Amino acid sequence: MTKRLYYDSSEIHEFDSVVEHVVPSSPEQARPSVILRETAFYPTSGGQVHDTGWLTLDSGERVRVTEVADAEDGRVVHYLEAPPRLPVAGAAVHGSIDAERRRDHMQQHTGQHVLSAAFVELYQMPTVSFHMGEDYCSIDLATASLSSAQIVAAEKRANEIVYENRPVRIRYVSRAETEKLGLRKLPPAERDELRLIEVADFDLSACGGTHVEASGQIGSILLRKTEKVRQGTRVEFVCGDRAVRMARRDYSALSEAAALFSTQLWDVPGQIRKSADESRLLRKQKDDALDQLAELMASAALWDHPETNGRRIIVRAFSDRDITFAKLFAQKVTRVGTPAVALVASALDPPGLVFAQTPGGSADVGALLKRVLSAVGGRGGGSRDFAQGGVPAGSKINVEQLLREAAGTIEA
Ligand SMILES: [Zn+2]
């Protein structure tokens, strides 16, 4: 088993070690990897993601460590960015951990302990899983619901623990002893000696991760989105520097929105509501105006066209109106009382056709539309009294010509 230096201190960022085993890259394993006698690199486990960093070889050459993982036999595998020359077994190496990345993980992970304990203390809601992502972290709480008041209260309590700057200690105890201690989180059953992380007088749980030395180093804990998941409720959160960066990003987005509305940040929701109301009203006014326009145009068209064989046939291709307006116009033409047939189109690309007749008329506009469209590769259909369809975009079909031809077949 690899000796894990991070077990005793998360502040070991530089260490000397010896290469025990080297696996060169192969078709099965794209990146070469090494196992060291001891390491301060943290492998992905328990929800916390791995460290990255460098190994400096005897020759002075620096090799990038891109990923660190636990092997099943208890050894820690360091995956390397393919170096020109691999170290050999028995060689001395110097390890350096990306300290900024490690600090971020310590802040998130210790913040999670405090937050999980706060949810237990206030609402007896246990944490069933923890996830650390690139941008934010989340815990899943075993609860079907979580109110915004509870979120605010848990966030407040967790930050109180941060401000009190309580020591965070590492303790090793036997499994038997833990029964008496009342741990928030028990470890997998197979281990005899347990590593406990204690946030003084607040939380005690078994954990193999890296943590800060005092709760003040968490910086701050900010709760964000919550959502229902299969096992309960997921709570997203960010700690320390991530909380500051996230707040900065939110502020920039909100400032930009406020500038667009020429208003203060806190007035943005009100402005959005006002603007949505205005757009709804304008849409309604536009719809009403189009309805009136279609009605007037339909009356004028009927007025202009003499009756033949007891009905009026109105043919109209709109070059500047969409299919919705064409449909409205066809409805107005055929619903005013005087028997009529409307053969209407929108010539915008893609062109659309609407055929209608006063209900109960002698034509079958559904069949007519199908016939006209199938001749030009279009599709559509409907009933005897109303049908609609279209031709493919970019087909350069003269829709007015198409309508004239259709009119010709029912005039005859
Ligand atoms: Zn932990």
Alpha helices by DSSP H, listed for 261-384, are 268-304, 323-335, 365-374
Least confident of 329-333, 340-344, 360-364: 360-364
Q: Ligand 1 centre and the CA of 63: distance in Å? A: 29
pLDDT at 412 over 80: no
pLDDT digits (tens, 9 = 90+) for 190-204: 677 889 999 999 999
Q: Ligand 1 centre and the CA of 30: distance in Å? A: 31
Least Cα distance to 154 among 201, 207, 104, 112 occurs for 112
Q: Ligand 1 centre and the CA of 207: distance in Å? A: 5
> What is the CB neighbour count within 10 angstroms for residue 64?
14
Q: Ligand 1 centre and the CA of 113: distance in Å? A: 6
Q: CA 311, CA 122: separation in Å to the nearest integer?
A: 79
Q: Ligand 1 centre and the CA of 209: distance in Å? A: 5
Least Cα distance to 17 among 97, 92, 98 occurs for 92
Write the CA distances from 393 to 172, 343, 349, integer angstroms. Answer: 72, 20, 6
Q: Ligand 1 centre and the CA of 48: distance in Å? A: 8
pLDDT digits (tens, 9 = 90+) for 256-295: 999 999 999 999 999 999 999 999 999 999 999 999 999 9
Q: Ligand 1 centre and the CA of 90: distance in Å? A: 33
Residue 164 tokens read as 């009190």
Q: Ligand 1 centre and the CA of 115: distance in Å? A: 12
Comparing 135 with 15, the larger pLDDT belongs to: 15
- Global pTM reads 0.75
Q: Ligand 1 centre and the CA of 249: distance in Å? A: 28
Q: Ligand 1 centre and the CA of 169: distance in Å? A: 11
Q: Ligand 1 centre and the CA of 239: distance in Å? A: 14
Q: Ligand 1 centre and the CA of 317: distance in Å? A: 71
Name 271's Cβ contacts closer than 8 Å, sequence gap at least 6: 261, 263
Q: CA 199, CA 196: separation in Å to the nearest integer?
A: 10
Cis peptide upstream of residue 392 (ω within 30 degrees of 0): no
Greatest alpha-carbon span in the chain: 105
